[in-house]
Structure 1
Amino acid sequence: MTLTDDRTTPGAVSPTPSGRATGVAARIETALRPLLRGPLPVRLRAWDGSEAGPADATLVEVRSPQALTRLLWHPGELGAAQAYVTGELEVHGDVGATLDLVRETVAARDLPPLTAGRVARMLPDLVRLAKETGALAAPPAPPATQAVVKGRLHSLARDRASISHHYDLSNEFYEFLLDPHMAYSSGYHVDGPDMPLEAAQAAKLDLVCRKVGLREGMRFLDVGCGWGSLSLYAAEHFGAQVTGVTIAAEQKAFIDARIAERGLGDRVRIELRDYREIASGPYDAVASLEMGEHVGEKNYDTYAEVLYRSVKPGGYVLVQQMSRFAGHHPGGGPFIEQFIAPDMTMRPVGDTLNLLQGAGFEVRGVHAMREHYVWTVDAWHRTLEENWDRAVELIGEEAARVWRLYLVGGSQAFRDGRMGVDQLLLRRPGGPAVVADPAS
């Protein structure tokens, strides 16, 4: 996308007519050279109006000394994200291309991970500049959009707070961003990247229902039902008797309204409860779409056991879940962990299969859908950018900038294989030998 916001800080001065780098920007460039092991990969504009770096490169503007403060306290991804979402740091150009350039520079120059201590030791000129400009100060308050969760990790209360931070943002915003099904998970783009998102989500919902063998009158459990896309689809198109479970109050309110609008009160019931509190069952079939990432590493055994006891012997369970290769941040990285999904845990898909098998499941199929998520996220991103003013109206500029970073970075993570998503078809042993539709 292209950003054209050319605001500058009050009292800013223009660069010299010759274009020669002067002022704060030149001092930042000089200070960063030891860390970067070379020149700036971008054009840098500082809060005093001065510029440095390649004249034909993407312009990155440090609009306030406070941006430098954040970067000194949290070098790398988190500090940069904090400064970006608050508007203290701006990218005048394609954000995705700029992120790619940063990764390429880090890889090509074999740059070490950043820590506050390393910055202080390696960059005395930057620290000196920070002192002179007032940037060497106590850490600024986190942005309002940054998650604040307290309590024991993955306690019922903390999990509710973590989920609420992201999913209770605004039903109206999610209705604006997502397709009419309100599916907040990867679609199934059987016709390729140009397939309309609504059709791709319908294809995914249909695929899930067929894989678990849904038929008229079957009892179906939707664990982590979101805004009800699967619950409503299973009732309307397959005649299932559905129970959906969520811990997000805004989601339940939204689905309950749709149930009433569509006259599905006799087929769909939504419960506001944690997955650990599910006591009904066993059901004929169970599905859980992109919810297992939120239960945490230590609780995944419990999650798998709940799924196992919730389905009847011989019944099928479909888990759609994101994966992360070993060696990468299991939570998705500092930005995701602080702004989007606190306490999320991802792992290699093979490790997840081992945990599900440990609960007693037979694995019947693994369906990789990584590329599909690239196309899904790109569709969400287009909606955001093409309707930017509406997004800002709904959630505010800071939150909209959070979503821009989230969607750009998420698309790149799936594109580059740093993250994956898979449908895992499971069967509880016992019962009649019924083969579900293995559609893929």
Structure 2
Amino acid sequence: MTGAAHRLAALAETTFGGSLPVRLRTWDGAETGPADSPLVVVHSRRALRRLLWKPGELGLAQAYVTGEIDVEGDLAAGLRAMWSAARERNLHAPRLSLTGRARAAGTAARLGAVGPPPAPPASQARLRGALHTRSRDRAAISHHYDLSNAFYRLLLDETMAYSCGYWAGGGPEFTAADAQRAKLELICRKLGLAPGARLLDIGCGWGSLTLYAAERYQARVTAVTLAREQAAYVDEQVRERGLTDRVNVVCQDYRDIIGGDYDAVATVEMGEHVGDAEYPAFATALHRMVRPSGRILVQQMSRGSVAPGGGAFIEAYIAPDMHMRPLGETVDLLETAGLEVRSVESLREHYVRTVAAWHRTLEERWSDFVALVGEETARVWRLYLVGGALAFEERRMGVDQILAVRPTATGHSGAPATPRDWYPGLDRL
């Protein structure tokens, strides 16, 4: 008698236009596929129902985070094998015709997997309202960043920096925290901060840049975030470190920021949340907020024009409504707003190492994460971190630091002629 694994493999090969690049085991113990490939285990018929109703990435992600599908061994190896096969064998995403859907439903019926669509997992985002309204943006940010400060304390290093680090040192003694401090120092140098300089930190996160600039450079910082948990954390750190005279923490939308004439503005991995249609206005706001000959640093992820979002999984579970574009388009938008781009530095490989460090922490302290947020959310983060590292490794995503200035009416930029002072000593911080 043919096992469930063989039936599923045959259906998958028809649907994707090629043989499966992984080994498959089903709930009845049947196995098929290359013996030396990563093993995908389908624990429940319920997983098939999800894939019938949500074919593709979202259905697979739902089944994974609920534990209905698992990968034995190295999840990264399994995802890498699937991406590699998709490229090399030109496997296409499922676009089921009526005939294809009928065939899939017939196979599901023979396997006892027919039924109504399963409810989405509890960890999936549920947003309402028009795209990029203030209320929807606040809800989107809250879904990810207000998970709890305790969660991010467990995941991140002591800097609490949740963005790409700068791996200035190559040896094993150079830690993830060192990489984050090197990144913060590099940003401050690029912005030309000096004692008393006014810095606006838009999307300040847990305050890593704000606190570093205020302590190390004696800058006066306005820190802006939409996430209440983050604002509370930064406020607490400001009081504990005696920085209340230098730092003002504001929980609000960037569109509600009043005033300007800042010496420097930084926005670190926040622009991805602005939205496509809204980005020209965001770039114009950056121009308005900085004084003439002041500097702006944008650290931002990028993606090809054919896949501007994070993908079905990322948009449903991690960063709803996010939008990324090719680097060149962002540069064009900034310059159209009147800024002059002076430097662009790719950090793509740095993000591979940064995300890998977060993933190691997740696996090493798995039981602590499960106790804190539950197994489903922990599995969401495992899939997110493993998939994210691969996306940067394989150049499906990038991340860059873009330094821009607001020239004066006579063209004075205030920027250094060379970047010679930016990099020395970063590996020894």
| Counterpart for residue 167 of structure 1 | 145
| Counterpart for residue 426 of structure 2 | none
- CA deviation after TM superposition for structure 1 residue 368, in Å: 1.1
| Counterpart for residue 179 of structure 2 | 200
- Conserved? CA contact 1:183–1:227, under 8 Å: yes
- CA deviation after TM superposition for structure 1 residue 133, in Å: 4.0
Q: Output the TM-score relative to the length of structure 2.
A: 0.93
Spell out the pairing of 1:19-418 with structure 2 (5 A cutoff).
22-115=2-95, 117-118=96-97, 121-122=99-100, 125-192=103-170, 194=172, 195-327=174-306, 329-418=307-396
RMSD of aligned residue pairs (Cα, Å): 1.7
Partners of 1:168 and 1:65 lie apart in 2 by 34
| Counterpart for residue 13 of structure 1 | none
- CA deviation after TM superposition for structure 1 residue 337, in Å: 1.1
- Conserved? CA contact 1:28–1:126, under 8 Å: no
Write the deviation string for residues 102-146 of structure 1: whole angstroms up to 9, x where unpaired. 12222233222213x33x523755422312444222221111111
Partners of 2:315 and 2:3 lie apart in 1 by 36
- CA deviation after TM superposition for structure 1 residue 96, in Å: 0.8
- Conserved? CA contact 2:5–2:25, under 8 Å: yes
- Greater Cα shift, 286-295 or 23-32: 23-32
- Conserved? CA contact 1:223–1:287, under 8 Å: yes
Partners of 2:326 and 2:190 lie apart in 1 by 23
- Conserved? CA contact 1:324–1:347, under 8 Å: yes
- Greater Cα shift, 390-399 or 125-134: 125-134
Partners of 1:229 and 1:103 lie apart in 2 by 34
- Conserved? CA contact 2:16–2:92, under 8 Å: no
- Counterpart of 1:203, as a letter, is A
Q: Classify the secondary structure of the residue corresponding to 1:147.
A: coil
| Counterpart for residue 10 of structure 1 | none
Query: How many correspondences in the alignment?
Result: 417
- Greater Cα shift, 308-317 or 106-115: 106-115
- Conserved? CA contact 2:46–2:118, under 8 Å: yes
- Counterpart of 2:181, as a letter, is A
* Alpha-carbon distance change, 399 to 356 in structure 1, aligned in 2, over 3 angstroms: same
- CA deviation after TM superposition for structure 1 residue 37, in Å: 4.4
Q: Classify the secondary structure of the residue corresponding to 1:34.
A: helix
- Conserved? CA contact 2:15–2:94, under 8 Å: no
* Alpha-carbon distance change, 68 to 312 in structure 1, aligned in 2, over 3 angstroms: same
- CA deviation after TM superposition for structure 1 residue 92, in Å: 0.6
Write the deviation string for residues 247-276 of structure 1: whole angstroms up to 9, x where unpaired. 000000111111111111111111011000
- CA deviation after TM superposition for structure 1 residue 38, in Å: 4.8
Partners of 1:331 and 1:411 lie apart in 2 by 16
- CA deviation after TM superposition for structure 1 residue 233, in Å: 0.4
- CA deviation after TM superposition for structure 1 residue 218, in Å: 1.1
Q: Output the TM-score relative to the length of structure 1.
A: 0.91
Write the deviation string for residues 150-196 of structure 1: whole angstroms up to 9, x where unpaired. 10100000000000000001111111111111111101111137431
- Conserved? CA contact 1:182–1:229, under 8 Å: yes
- Greater Cα shift, 415-424 or 193-202: 193-202
Q: Classify the secondary structure of the residue corresponding to 2:295.
A: strand
* Alpha-carbon distance change, 434 to 42 in structure 1, aligned in 2, over 3 angstroms: closer
Partners of 1:345 and 1:33 lie apart in 2 by 32
Q: Classify the secondary structure of the residue corresponding to 1:184.
A: coil
- Counterpart of 1:226, as a letter, is G
- Counterpart of 2:115, as a letter, is A
- Counterpart of 1:143, as a letter, is P
- Conserved? CA contact 1:34–1:123, under 8 Å: no
- CA deviation after TM superposition for structure 1 residue 325, in Å: 1.9
Write the deviation string for residues 343-398 of structure 1: whole angstroms up to 9, x where unpaired. 11101111001100111101111111111111111111111111111111121111
Q: Classify the secondary structure of the residue corresponding to 1:139.
A: coil
- CA deviation after TM superposition for structure 1 residue 282, in Å: 1.7
- Greater Cα shift, 210-219 or 31-40: 31-40
- Conserved? CA contact 1:291–1:321, under 8 Å: yes
- Counterpart of 1:256, as a letter, is D
Unaligned runs of 5+ in 1: 1-20
